[in-house]
Amino acid sequence: MSENTILKGKSRDEIAKAYKSEPWWYDLRGFFILTFAYNSTLSSQIRFLGKNFGPKHLEVACGTGTLLQYILYWRSFKKLPQSNIIGIDYAESMLAGALYRFKNKKYINFIHADAAQLPFPDESFDTINVANSVHCLPDVAAALKDIHRVLRPHGTFAANVLLYPSGRGLLSYFATRINNWGIKKGILVTPYHRSHIRGLYEKSGFTIIEESVSGNCYNVLLTKFVH
């Protein structure tokens, strides 16, 4: 099955329905996918994404907010400045978990929204993160275009991307099985080849600042230059 075939396989509403589960199950499932499909660690994600929080920050496809909470604990431990944060997700059940988790945090707000049709004016945010979610965006090109639109000039955008497994060992076998299950379940649109997603970032107008691959996880920090 080609990437283009997979990308057209699920609508936004179908994906949101697939994510309609209890927040605790979503978090447990996410940890399993992180370990065996991404072949990455929670600590490495926290360190990578936790650095990219400006005064006004957007968290795209925030889910239940579990990873965001860990990141904010890490930032507090590191004595990094507090940000005004908006989180968006298309799955309302996921947002309900995030709203409950951060109900007493006045500097964090959550909105039901589509990543490809962000309800914000141009150049609204200093920083944007997409954590463990590029794989579930049904129209990733449109989402990247709108993320570029709402990011301020010279702002930064950080994302980690699920790659197709490399090699032929046991870890690759398990990652492939998990990915196939995720596609069938509807929680995964597609993994990516690094060259493909890299090209989509650049086509959307971003410039890559730094990038690295750990396991099957592609971490990339980008910026919006104004010519």
Q: How far apart are CA 107 and CA 84, in angstroms?
A: 5
Q: What angle do CA 193, 62, 125 make, to 5 degrees?
A: 90
Q: How far apart are CA 176 and CA 200, in angstroms?
A: 23
Q: SS3 of 104, please?
A: coil
pLDDT at 24: 52
Q: In what order do the strands lie in the sheet with 84-89?
A: 108-112, 84-89, 56-60, 125-130, 151-162, 217-223, 207-214
- Residue type at 24 in one-letter notation: W
Q: Does residue 32 have a pLDDT over 80?
A: no
Residue 205's φ and ψ, nearest 5 degrees, are: 105, 5
Rg (CA), the chain: 16
Residue partners of 125: CB distance under 8 A and separation at least 6: 54, 56, 57, 58, 86, 150, 151, 152, 155
pLDDT at 41: 81
Q: Does residue 34 have a pLDDT over 80?
A: no
User: Average per-residue pLDDT in the chain?
Assistant: 85
Q: How far apart are CA 62 and CA 131, in angstroms?
A: 7
CB 124, CB 57: distance < 8 Å: no
pLDDT at 135: 86
CB 222, CB 198: distance < 8 Å: no
pLDDT at 146: 98
pTM (2 d.p.): 0.85
Region class of 132: left (phi > 0), else alpha (psi between -120 and 50), else beta: left
What are the CA-CA distances from residue 162 to residues 1, 178, 206, 224 (Å)? 17, 12, 19, 23
Neighbours of 84 (CB within 10 A): 15
CATH 1.20.1730.10 fits 3-223, yes or no: no
Over pLDDT 70: what percentage of the chain? 84
pLDDT in tens, 59-88: 999 988 999 999 999 999 999 999 999 999
pLDDT in tens, 35-53: 667 777 889 999 999 999 9
Q: Does residue 195 have a pLDDT over 60?
A: yes
